[in-house]
């Protein structure tokens, strides 16, 4: 599992990355420059993204806003470090889901997220192994994890259902009666002489 840490190249960046890597998570470092950070995020699929606002806070805000809306990373937790106090209101308004943290808090959260990710991966692995075991048992014709049912006499098969009945054909439409035709005077008839 990896954490994407976005920070511009500075002398203190390496020390900060070293502190974060002590949490047990693998830290992937990139600068918040387009399209580099997006390509790294798509490739790595991190379980968390941390953005340092100490340099170029406006640029970092745009980066965070993009990652919060991108299809690949919108579900990923977003942690913001060193947000200037004059930008706090703007950042909170544009990124309500982001968490403002310090480095020690982030290290603790990353350790917890790493532990949860490892546990989830272990459960997924166990479920896959159980599914393979069941599939092999089905192929062999036995059951897995359940005792075989006791042999019982089979019930006789139910008789097949009779075919559905067809509805009778509708009655033909009635034709006008002959009397009515005879009772009407014929128009344009030739008179007999």
4 within 8 A of 48, measured Cβ to Cβ: yes
Pairwise CA distance, residues 47 & 76, whole Å: 6
Q: Which CATH number fits domain 2-116: 3.40.50.2300, 3.20.20.70, 3.30.1490.20, 3.40.50.880?
A: 3.40.50.2300
pLDDT-derived band at 101, boundaries 50, 70, 90: very high
Mean pLDDT on 155-173: 73
Query: Environment class of residue 58 by beta-carbon count within 10 Å: exposed (0-12), middle (13-18) or buried (19+)?
Result: exposed
pLDDT-derived band at 156, boundaries 50, 70, 90: low
Range name among 16-25, 82-91, 98-107, 128-137 with the lowest pLDDT average: 16-25
pLDDT-derived band at 149, boundaries 50, 70, 90: low
Pairwise CA distance, residues 128 & 139, whole Å: 17
72 within 8 A of 49, measured Cβ to Cβ: no
pTM: 0.61
pLDDT-derived band at 118, boundaries 50, 70, 90: confident
Range name among 71-75, 136-140, 174-178 with the lowest pLDDT average: 174-178
Q: pLDDT of 50-69, one tens digit each? A: 999 988 888 899 999 999 99
Residue 187 has pLDDT above 70, yes or no: no
pLDDT at position 50: 92
- Name the average pLDDT for the chain: 82
User: Domains of the chain: which residue ranges?
Assistant: 2-116
Residue 44: C-alpha distances to residues 10, 37, 125, 136 (Å) = 23, 10, 20, 34
Residue with tokens 């991108």: 70
Q: Left, alpha or beta for 23 (phi > 0: left; psi -120 to 50: alpha)? A: alpha
- Tokens read off for 99: 């968490």
Residue 80: C-alpha distances to residues 24, 26, 48, 115 (Å) = 19, 18, 11, 21
Phi, psi of 170 (to 5 degrees): -70, 150
For the chain, give the percent of residues with pLDDT over 70: 81
């Amino acid at each position: 599992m990896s954490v994407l840490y976005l920070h511009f190249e500075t002398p203190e960046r390496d020390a900060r990355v070293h502190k974060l890597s002590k949490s047990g998570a693998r830290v992937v470092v990139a600068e918040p420059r387009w399209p580099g950070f997006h390509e790294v995020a798509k490739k790595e699929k991190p379980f968390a993204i941390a953005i340092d606002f100490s340099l170029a806070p406006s640029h970092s805000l745009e980066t965070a806003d993009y990652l919060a809306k991108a299809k690949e990373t919108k579900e990923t937790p977003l942690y913001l470090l060193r947000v200037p106090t004059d930008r706090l209101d703007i950042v909170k308004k544009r990124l309500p889901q982001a968490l403002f943290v310090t480095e020690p808090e982030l290290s603790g959260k990353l350790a917890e997220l790493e532990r949860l990710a490892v546990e989830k991966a272990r459960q997924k692995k166990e479920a896959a192994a159980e599914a393979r075991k069941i599939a092999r048992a089905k192929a062999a014709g036995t059951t897995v994890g359940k005792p075989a049912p006791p042999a019982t006499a089979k019930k006789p098969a139910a008789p097949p259902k009779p075919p559905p009945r067809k509805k009778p054909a509708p009655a033909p439409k009635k034709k006008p009666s002959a009397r009515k035709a005879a009772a009407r005077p014929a128009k344009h008839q030739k008179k007999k002489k």
